[in-house]
Amino acid sequence: MSMVTAPAPGLPLDRPKKAPLDPPPEFARLRDEQPITRVSIWDGRLTPWLVTRWADARAVLGNRAFSSEDSLPGFPNLRPGMPPSPPGALQAHDAPVHTTMRRALTREFIVKRIDELRPSIRETADRLIDDMTALDGPVDLVEHLALPLPTLVACDLLGVPYEDHPFFQDKANTLVDNSSTAEQVETAERSIAEYLLNLLLLRRSRPCGDLMSRLARKVDGASITDDDAAELAAFLLLAGHETTANMIALSTITLLQHPDQIPRLFIGPEETALAVEELLRFVTVIQAGLRRRALEDVTVGGVTIRAGEGVIIPLNVANRDPDAFPEPDRLDLGRPNARRHVNFGYGVHQCLGQSLARAELQIMLPAIFRRLPGLRVTAPIEDLPYKEASIYGVHRLPVTW
């Protein structure tokens, strides 16, 4: 059957002022009363379906009848008139483009390879904390820890020379800064793409043991071109940069609000890993949700979604579904089923870099609280400058210790 309802309030919805790490409460009401319902975007010009239950979210994300192609008519993009994403943007394409591009990188992110990176990630995290603690507080944890770690790790993975790290840090900061103008963002994107294309060509003639060298070998001029490979590298750099940086900052805030749970970070590797899974569930930085378009009529949760209709899956709401996670609004770093969260998506488009993100969080968060036991935020949590963007986070996190 089809559920006919009046459109829900237009997206995005506001988070509660006194609990800025919680999803908008209107989402919970919809999940209870109208778990699959119409919403309004683009000032009412498009009314896609909103899917709020955990089980229904997985049903949509795991079904290839729902397309990720953001160029299709009716696709619920963040803004109307957005240009199609390049082939290297994995999240915005279906097979065969998605399959080809993902296959080029799959072996780079297997758990064994990521485990080999852990010593260098740990060294980077310690060096950043050393540099931050050499300053007089308060200092911005976002600037000194949360943003640099994923950028520096990605640069090392790609094989970017160390002396060029500041270039990437500067451009990446421009891209995630909501105050950047469209011209500044376009210039930063073009600079990164040009740099990585030049690095790819250099690695073809002078290969090293890095990801860019391996990508250069995969270019065949047909299924993967030089531009495709450079765009894929840029996607890896920027996608992991913002999400992990915001997870570090918001997880720090969350843990400071639950100091009794911080010791669970230090019990052992398994307990640390489980704690990170619960933080990924509880915080969930993907604020705009994952977006799809139905290729055919599909029934989900008793509701028929017609071919050509858009779907939005707010992951933060699915991760707070009481049917999947008992007492979902309670942080429990020992939650046994926390890994069932959909923070990295689900199905064929599940985040390729999730093992790397997990490693960075499992290393950085215990390091912060082990080395800075007196850490505290110097501003009220509700007054911090939160990002009104597709990825949730804070622009700045002033701390002292």
**Phi, psi at 143, each rounded to 5°:** -65, -40
pLDDT in tens, 307-336: 999 999 999 999 999 999 999 999 999 999
The pTM score is: 0.92
Domain assignment present for residue 401? The answer is no
Confidence at residue 1, expressed as pLDDT on a 0 to 100 scale: 41
Show the domain range for 129.
Answer: 25-394
CA angle (175, 316, 20) in 5-degree steps: 75
Residue 231 is inside which H or E element, if any?
Answer: helix 226-257
d(CA 150, CA 168): 11
Tell me, what's the pLDDT at 9?
A: 61
Please indicate whether residue 63 or residue 4 has the higher confidence score (pLDDT). Answer: 63
pLDDT digits (tens, 9 = 90+) for 99-148: 998 988 888 888 898 999 999 999 999 999 999 999 997 999 999 999 99
Compute the CA torsion angle 93, 278, 117, 374 (nearest 10 deg): 130
Inside any domain, residue 92 = yes
Return the CA Rg of the chain: 21
Question: The domain spanning residue 320 has which CATH number?
Answer: 1.10.630.10
Beta bridge partners of 400: 376
Highest mean pLDDT range out of 89-98, 192-201, 234-243, 356-365? 356-365
Structure tokens at 234: 């840029």
Residue 128 to residues 113, 125, 139, 230: CA-CA distances in angstroms? 23, 5, 13, 28
Residue 4 in this model has a pLDDT that exceeds 50: no
Which residue would you say has higher pLDDT here, 94 or 193? Answer: 94
Percent of the chain with pLDDT over 70: 96
Q: Are 197 and 230 in contact (CB under 8 A)?
A: yes
Residue 10 counted as domain residue: no
List the alpha helices (DSSP H) in 258-314: 269-283
Which whole number is the average pLDDT over 160-175?
A: 79
pLDDT score recorded for residue 176: 60
The answer to whether position 66 is within a domain reads yes
Of the ranges 49-58, 76-85, 379-388, the best mean pLDDT one: 49-58
Report the distance separating Cα 388 and Cα 395, nearest Å.
10
The answer to whether residue 16 sits within a structural domain is no
Segment 352-387, tens digit of pLDDT: 999 999 999 999 999 999 999 999 999 999 999 998
Domain count, the chain: 1
Structure-block tokens of residue 306: 């017609």
Confidence tier at 2 by pLDDT (50, 70, 90): very low
Confidence band of 189 (pLDDT split at 50, 70, 90): confident
pLDDT value at residue 179: 65
CB 248 within 8 A of CB 146: yes
- Res 337 pLDDT > 90: yes
Residue 178 has pLDDT above 60, yes or no: no
Say if CB 3 and CB 34 are below 8 A apart: yes
Domain assignment present for 199: yes
